[in-house]
Amino acid sequence: MSDVRAAARAWLAQDPDPDTQAELTNLIARDEAGDADAAAELADRFSARLQFGTAGLRGRLGAGSNRMNRVLVSQAAAGFAAYLREKAAPGTTPTVVIGYDGRRNSDVFARDSAELFAGAGLRAVLLPRLLPTPVLAFAVRHLGAAAGVMVTASHNPPDDNGYKVYLGGADEGSQIVAPADAEIAAHIDRVAAASVVADLPRGAYETADESVVQAYIAATATVAPASAGAAGMTWVYTAMHGVGYETLRAILHLAGYPEPTVVEAQIAPDGRFPTVAFPNPEEPGAMDLAFETARQADAEFVIANDPDADRLAVAIPDAAADGGWRRLTGNEIGLLLGWRAAARAAGEARPGASLACSLVSSPGLQTVAEHYGLDFHATLTGFKWISRAPGIVYGFEEALGYLVNPETVRDKDGISAAVAILGMIAEAREQGHTLADLLTQFQETFGFFQSGQVSLRVEDVSVISRIMAVLRAAPPAALGTVAVTRIDDLLTGVDGFPPGDVLRLWLADGSRVIVRPSGTEPKLKAYLDVRGETAADAAARLAALDAAARELIAAAQS
C-alpha cells in the first residue's frame, strides 16, 4: 500500500486541476486515517494505468493513473506529439487537429492537448467549438493533417470521457491500428516516467474557422439531396443530449429536407445526460422520450444520434411493439444502407468496389455484395478496420455505426448516415412506400436474415476473461439441439484476420454465434445470426439460438 500512497502523492504534486486535487487530497487523508474504503479506492486508481490502445483512451473521470484527467491527458498529448515528430519527414512540421464534444472536461482536455502539441513544435489546430466526432474525422483529411484527436467517450456513461486518435497521410484519416497504438503508448509511458506536467512545454495553437465545418456540411448534404418524396415528411429527432443537431440541421437545410420535431429535453448538449441512464440509443429506455414525442407528433419515423453523433438509430411505428414503436437493429439499418450503396456502385461500374462490415455484423451484406457483383470484406470490429477495406464504398457494424461516404470521412458517421436514410425514405415515399416496406422488399430480394445479441455487463472485467477462457478450454458441442460444426479462435489468427479475442461458432443449420469482449464497455457480447426460409422461421431460429447462447454464457460464468 505504501507504493500506492507514494504514487498518489506524486500524482497530486503535478495535478493542475483544482477539482481532482481536492478529490485526491480527501482520499489520501481518509486513507491515512484508516478508512478501508478510501484505501481500496486509491488502490483502484493507482495500481494500474489507463491503457492507450487502438481505441485511444477511455475511462471514468477522476484523479489517478487509472482515470481520465488532465495529468493523464497531458501525458498522452506529449507522448503522441513525440510519436508524430519521430514519424515526420525531416524539415516538416506535422499538423494536428483537435476536436471535442459536450462531455464534462472535453473542452479542457482539448485545450490542454492543443497547447502541448504546439509546445512540442507541432502545428495545433483546435476546432472552433464543440462538434460531432465525424467533423473531426473529416477535418483531418480536409486540412491535410498528420493526425487528429477527438475528446469524447461517445455513448459511454456520463462519468466517462475518452481520447480518440486518427492518422492522416497514408492512413487517410482512419483511427489508429497496430503497431501505431503500441508505439504511441511507449512514448506516453516514457513521458509519464520522465516528466511532470508542469514541465511539459506549452505553446500557442490555432483555432479553425467555420469554413472547416461548412465544408463538412456541404460534403454531407451531397450524400442524398432531397427528392420530391421528402415534401411533407414528418419525423422526430433526438441528439441524446449530444452535439449532433446543430450540424445536422444545417445539412437538412442545404439538402432540402424538412426539419424534424425534436425531443426538446435531449436536443441541447448536456454532459450530465439527465434523462437517460446510458446515453446510448441501443440501451433499453434511452429512446422512450423520442417515442413519446413521435406519438404526439404522429411521426412517420424517428432518428437518433448518440452524444458525439457518430452512431445512428432509427425507429418505426409497430403495433406489436411495446409503446407502438420499434427501434430497428443496427443490422437492419446496415443492410438497407448497404443495399443503397451497392445499387449505386453497380450503376457506376466501379472496378474493385466493395462492401465491408465487421465480422460480428450480419452476413446479409455479403449476399448483397454478391448480388451486385461487388467485392466483400469482413473485418475485425471497429471502423479502424472497416475503413481500411480495399475499394470500400460502404461499411457498417451492427452497433449502429455506418460509413456511407468514405471519400469524405473514413470513420462511422451518424450524420451522413442519417442523410442517407432520409434519402431512402424520401424515394420510397414517392412510390407510396414506407421504411417498413423497404425492409420487406429487402427480405424478399436477399433473404430472411435475423440477428440478435446477448450482453453481459460486469463490474469486474476479469469475469469476461474467465468466461472466454472457459469457452476455449471446454467449447460446446451443441447449442440447444443444433450441433456446433466448427469453432474459429481468432486469437490464433483465422481467415487473414489479425489476432483478436474472438470466438466464432458455426452451427449445423447455418447459424452463427460470435463471442467477444466489448472494446469500449465492461461487457461480454454474443452476436447471433440466422437465416430462415420465411420471416417467421428466422424469428423462431433466433429465439432458440438466443436461449441457447444465454445458457452457454451462464454456465461458463458459474
Q: Rounded to 5 degrees, what are φ and ψ at 108?
A: -65, -45
- Residue 1 has a pLDDT of 57
Q: Which segments of 145-300 are extended strands (E)?
A: 147-151, 160-167, 174-175, 206-207, 235-238, 261-262
Q: Give the integer Cα–Cα distance in Å for 152 and 491.
A: 29
Give 196's contacts (C-beta < 8 A, 6+ positions apart). Answer: 13, 14
Please state, in angstroms and as integers, the Cα–Cα distance from residue 15 to each residue in 106, 288, 289, 309, 476, following that order: 17, 41, 40, 31, 50
Q: Kindly give the confidence (pLDDT) of every residue in the chain, 558 residues in length, as a single tens digit, with 9 standing for 90 and above.
A: 578 999 999 999 999 999 999 999 999 999 999 999 999 999 999 989 998 887 799 999 999 999 999 999 999 999 999 999 999 999 999 999 999 999 999 999 999 999 999 999 999 999 999 999 999 999 999 999 999 999 999 999 999 999 999 999 999 999 999 899 999 999 999 999 999 999 999 999 999 999 999 999 999 999 999 999 999 999 999 999 999 999 999 999 999 999 999 999 999 999 999 999 889 999 989 999 999 999 999 999 999 999 999 999 999 999 989 889 999 999 999 999 999 999 999 988 888 999 999 999 999 999 999 999 999 999 988 999 999 999 999 999 999 999 999 999 999 999 999 999 999 999 999 999 999 999 999 999 999 999 999 999 988 889 999 999 999 999 999 999 999 999 999 988 777 787 889 999 999 999 999 999 987 678 999 999 999 999 999 999 999 999 999 999 999 988
Closest by CA position to 151, among listed 57, 236, 87: 57
Grid cell listed for 485: 460444426
Q: Give the integer Cα–Cα distance in Å for 234 and 285.
A: 23
Grid cell listed for 484: 456446433
**CATH 3.30.310.50 in the chain, residues?**
448-557
Q: Rounded to 5 degrees, what are φ and ψ at 294?
A: -65, -40
Name the amino acid, one letter, at 173. Answer: G
Give 124's contacts (C-beta < 8 A, 6+ positions apart). Answer: 95, 96, 98, 113, 114, 115, 117, 118, 203, 205, 206
179 upstream amide cis, omega within 30 of 0: yes
Grid cell listed for 224: 442524398
Closest by CA position to 66, among listed 55, 56, 57, 54: 57
**Homologous superfamily of 448-557 in CATH?**
Alpha-D-phosphohexomutase, C-terminal domain (3.30.310.50)
Cα Rg of the chain, angstroms:
24
- Residue 164 has a pLDDT of 97
Is 154 an annotated catalytic residue? yes
Residue 126 and residue 205 in contact, taking contact as beta carbons nearer than 8 Å:
yes
Give 474's contacts (C-beta < 8 A, 6+ positions apart). Answer: none
Q: Give the integer Cα–Cα distance in Å for 63 and 197.
A: 14
- Residue 493 has a pLDDT of 75
Beta-bridged to residue 451, according to DSSP, are: 529
Q: Give the integer Cα–Cα distance in Å for 506 and 242.
A: 39
**CATH 3.40.120.10 in the chain, residues?**
70-208, 210-446
Q: Give the integer Cα–Cα distance in Å for 494 and 503.
A: 10
Question: DSSP string spanning 298-366?
Answer: T-SEEEEE-TTS--EEEEEE-TTSGGGEEEPPHHHHHHHHHHHHHHHHHHHT-TT-EEEEETTS-THHH
Grid cell listed for 448: 430472411
- Residue 538 has a pLDDT of 95
CATH architecture of 70-208: 3-Layer(aba) Sandwich (3.40)
Q: Give the integer Cα–Cα distance in Å for 333 and 323.
A: 21
- Residue 322 has a pLDDT of 86
- Residue 242 has a pLDDT of 98
Catalytic residue among 74, 106, 113, 154: 154
Q: Which segments of 172-217 are extended strands (E)?
A: 174-175, 206-207
Grid cell listed for 208: 479553425
Q: Give the integer Cα–Cα distance in Å for 399 and 331.
A: 8
- Residue 142 has a pLDDT of 97
- Residue 500 has a pLDDT of 85
Q: Give the integer Cα–Cα distance in Å for 521 and 455.
A: 11
Q: Give the integer Cα–Cα distance in Å for 27 and 33.
A: 10
Residue 425 and residue 413 in contact, taking contact as beta carbons nearer than 8 Å:
no
- With both helix axes pointing from N to C terminus, report the angle between 106-119 and 70-87 in degrees, rounded to the nearest 10: 40
Q: How many CB atoms lie within 10 A of CB 366?
A: 18
Q: Under DSSP, is residue 88 helix (H, G, I), strand (E, B) or coil?
A: coil
With the CA atoms of 439, 444, 449 and 452 taken in that order, what torsion angle do they form, in degrees rounded to the nearest 10?
30
**Homologous superfamily of 210-446 in CATH?**
Alpha-D-Glucose-1,6-Bisphosphate, subunit A, domain 3 (3.40.120.10)
Closest by CA position to 451, among listed 332, 279, 327: 332
Please state, in angstroms and as integers, the Cα–Cα distance from residue 218 to each residue in 72, 247, 250, following that order: 36, 11, 9
- Residue 499 has a pLDDT of 84
